[in-house]
Amino acid sequence: MRELLLAIAVISVLGLRSSWAADDSCAQRGAFGQCIVATEKNRPTCTTVRFTGPVAGAAAYLSQFEKLTREMSKPGVEPAIEDYLARNPIGCSFTRDGEATSCKGIDFLQNQPGFIIAWSADRFTVMTPIDFESGRKDAPLIIERKDAQCRDQSPPGNDFSDNMGSFWKQFEKLGHAPYN
C-alpha cells in the first residue's frame, strides 16, 4: 500500500511538466509519461543534499518563478515574485499515516536538507521537512539541481520506489530523517 501511495505522490509531483515527458534521458516513465528517474548519464553523485533556492510541489511553479526571476530587471517585477510566493504557499494532501503527497505551491528555502528520490537533467525531487499547520513533515518537493550541494558520496538508486523505501527505512531506523 505504501508503494502505491508513493507512486501516486511522484506522479503528482513529476507529472505536471510536459517537457519532462519529452526528455530523452528518461529511463523510466510513469503512467502519464512523466520521467520517474533519469539515466546514469545525469545520476546524482549523492543522496543527501543541502539547498538554498525555490522549492515547489510541481515543476510548473518553478517554471513561473524562473520566468519572474529572468524579468527582474523590469520595473515592478520584484514585488511580483514576493506576491507569487505569498499567493502559492506549499500545501500537500496527507495519507492516513501522515505522509505528505500531491504537493502544490512554492517557497524559497535556505540551507534546507533534502534526500534525493528522483531526478531529471536539471531538477531533483527530494524529501525535505516542511512546516505545515499540523506540524513539521517530510514532503516530496522539486528543487533546481544547481541549487543543491552534496552532503555524502552515496548515489541514489535508479528506481524511485527503491529510493522512497530507502528514505523510509532509514527514517524508521534512525528515528528521524536520514539527512539530519
Asked if residues 44 and 155 have their Cβ atoms less than 8 Å apart, the reply is yes
* Amino acid 35: pLDDT: 55
Q: Is the model more confident about 47 or about 71?
A: 47
- For 2-16, how does the pLDDT look when each residue is reduced to its tens digit (9 = 90+)? 443 334 344 344 433
In the chain, where the domains are located: 2-172
**Is 43 a residue whose pLDDT tops 80?**
yes
- The torsion angles phi and psi of 74, rounded to 5 degrees, stand at -80, 145
* Amino acid 90: pLDDT: 95
Q: Is the model more confident about 172 or about 27?
A: 172
**Is 23 a residue whose pLDDT tops 60?**
no
Cell of 44: 546524482
Asked if residues 143 and 150 have their Cβ atoms less than 8 Å apart, the reply is no
Q: Between vectors from CA 33 to CA 48 and to CA 102, what angle results, nearest 5°?
A: 55
Q: What is the mean pLDDT of residues 144-162?
A: 90
Convert the chain into a string of H (helix), E (strand) and C (coil). Answer: CHHHHHHHHHHHHHCCCHHHHCCCCEEEECCCCCEEEECHHHCCCCCEEEEEEEEECCHHHHHHHHHHHHCCCCCCHHHHHHHHHHHCCCEEEECCCCCEEEEECEEEEEEEEEEEEEECCCEEEEEEEEEECCEEEEEEEEEEHHHEEECCCCCCCCCHHHHHHHHHHHHHHHCCCCCC
- For 84-133, how does the pLDDT look when each residue is reduced to its tens digit (9 = 90+)? 999 999 999 999 888 888 999 999 999 999 999 999 889 999 999 999 98
* Amino acid 7: pLDDT: 40
pTM exceeds 0.95, yes or no: no
* Bridge pairing between strands 135-144 and 48-56: antiparallel
